[in-house]
Every structure is written in structure tokens, then in C-alpha cells.
């Protein structure tokens, strides 16, 4: 039973993803074909060009950043901590950092794609988070403020400086209670 119309297309896509994550756009099509265990011609059979293959990979990578977020947590703090923990491990993990390194330098060549990638990943998370925060503000659990501003600030607090450290190869200190500490700071900043 073949899983879907084109099994080799998927193999190429997976191989391309791991190649781009490992070496960025530098990865050659020959290398991708080799990793996929497929002839170079097969790559070009499924994708018109390296650029378009890269675009498909990039779209997929951007989607992977998304995190589930409980819409109306009974305990706001616990909900934010769970979200923060998940987001931090995704964004700061090896895959998240590699994704970042792969996408960032190519953005100027794919401006329209980049914007839609933002909307589908970080932008979407801001919206979801803002919705949760807004509900809480209305319910009186948080000071009234621009919920989008609050959401962006929380995301910045959660990964901002640690991402820089990871990108520059500086191991972020092993900090078990970091997420909790950050969420507590956030809650104090937006307390009534």
C-alpha cells in the first residue's frame, strides 16, 4: 500500500529538509538526491528547480514551529508555563536553531514567502496567545493592555536572549526553573 500518490517526492522532500538544515542553501542538488537514495533526475521530476524545492521545505519548516495552546486554561499561570516550556524547547532545540539559521539568510530572496511564513508560524502564535490574554484581561485576571503587545513581549521574554546565545554557540545555562521565572515576571508585569 503506497502511502500517497508520490512516495519518492516525500523522500526527496525529507532529504532536502535535512540537507538544508545541515548546510543551508549551499547543499547541492546532487547531495540531496544522494541522501534521498534517488537519481538527480527524479528530484527534477518532482520539483522544477532548487529554489522551488527550497520553498516547499521552508514552508514545512515554518509550520513545525507552531505549538498547541490551550484556549481557556483554568489556571492561567499553568497554561502559560506549559506553553512556554513547549515553545522554548521547540525554538531553542537543535532543530529550531538549525531552521532559523537556514531560513534567515535566504529571506531576502523570497520576500513574499517569508512574510507568509511569519504569518503561519510566529505571527499565528502571537494571535493565539493574544486571544488567550485578551480573554483573561476581559475577565479581570490581567491588567487591560494591548493583548498583541503583551503576547509579543512574552514571546520575546521566552526565547529572546537565549536564542541569541544558542545561535552564537553559547550554551544557555542549564536553568530548570527558567520558564516559570519568566512567566512569573510576565504575570507581574501585567498584574491588575
Partner DNA sequence: CTGGGACTAGACTGACCAGTCTAGTCTAGA
Partner DNA sequence: TCTAGACTAGACTGGTCAGTCTAGTCCCAG
Least distance CB 7 / a second copy (angstroms):
32
> Least distance (Å) from DNA to the CB of residue 12?
8
Burial label for 108, CB within 10 Å (0-12, 13-18, 19+), is: exposed
Identify which range of 43-51, 64-72, 160-168, 169-177 contacts DNA by CB under 7 A: 43-51
Among 49, 72, 89, 175, binds DNA (CB under 7 A): 49
Least distance from DNA to the Cβ atom of residue 155, Å = 34
- DSSP code per residue over 90-128: HHHSHHHHHHHHHHGGGGGG-HHHHHHHHHHTHHHHHHH
Binding mask 6-35 for DNA (x = CB under 7 A): xxxx----------------xxxxxx----
Query: Does residue 187 interact with DNA by CB under 7 A?
Result: no
Q: Which three cell numbers stand for residue 174?
A: 542549564
**Torsions phi, psi for 127 (to 5 deg):** -60, -45
Please give the distance of CA 60 from its chain centroid, rounded to a whole number.
Answer: 10
Among 104, 127, 139, 144, binds a second copy (CB under 8 A): 104
CA gap 39, 100 in Å, rounded = 29
| Nearest in space to 88 (alpha carbons), one of 142, 150, 161 | 161
Count other Cβ atoms within 10 Å, centred on residue 21.
Answer: 19
Alpha-carbon span 187 to 181, nearest angstrom = 10
The binder of 123, among DNA, a second copy, none, by C-beta within 5 to 8 A per type, is a second copy
- Which member of 10, 123, 135, 180 binds a second copy (CB under 8 A)? 123
Residues forming the site for DNA (CB under 7 A): 6-9, 26-31, 37-42, 44-46, 49-51
Residues forming the site for a second copy (CB under 8 A): 24, 100-102, 104-105, 107-108, 111, 114-115, 117-118, 122-123, 126, 149, 152-153, 155-162, 164-165, 167-170, 181-182, 185-186, 188-191
Amino acid at each position: 500500500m503506497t502511502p500517497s500518490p508520490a512516495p519518492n517526492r516525500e523522500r526527496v522532500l525529507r532529504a532536502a529538509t535535512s540537507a538544508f538544515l545541515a548546510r543551508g542553501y549551499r547543499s547541492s542538488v546532487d547531495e540531496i538526491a544522494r541522501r534521498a537514495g534517488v537519481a538527480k533526475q527524479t528530484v527534477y521530476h518532482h520539483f522544477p528547480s532548487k529554489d522551488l524545492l527550497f520553498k516547499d521545505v521552508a514552508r514545512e519548516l515554518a509550520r513545525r514551529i507552531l505549538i498547541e495552546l490551550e484556549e481557556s486554561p483554568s489556571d492561567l499561570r499553568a497554561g502559560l508555563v506549559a506553553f512556554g516550556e513547549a515553545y522554548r524547547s521547540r525554538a531553542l532545540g537543535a532543530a529550531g536553531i538549525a531552521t532559523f539559521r537556514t531560513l534567515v539568510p535566504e529571506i531576502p530572496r523570497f520576500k513574499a514567502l517569508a512574510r507568509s511564513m511569519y504569518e503561519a508560524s510566529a505571527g499565528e502564535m502571537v494571535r493565539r496567545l493574544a486571544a488567550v490574554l485578551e480573554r483573561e484581561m476581559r475577565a479581570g485576571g490581567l491588567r487591560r493592555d494591548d493583548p498583541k503587545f503583551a503576547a509579543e513581549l512574552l514571546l520575546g521574554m521566552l526565547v529572546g536572549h537565549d536564542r541569541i546565545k544558542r545561535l552564537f554557540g553559547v550554551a544557555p545555562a542549564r536553568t530548570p526553573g527558567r520558564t516559570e521565572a519568566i512567566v512569573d515576571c510576565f504575570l507581574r508585569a501585567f498584574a491588575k
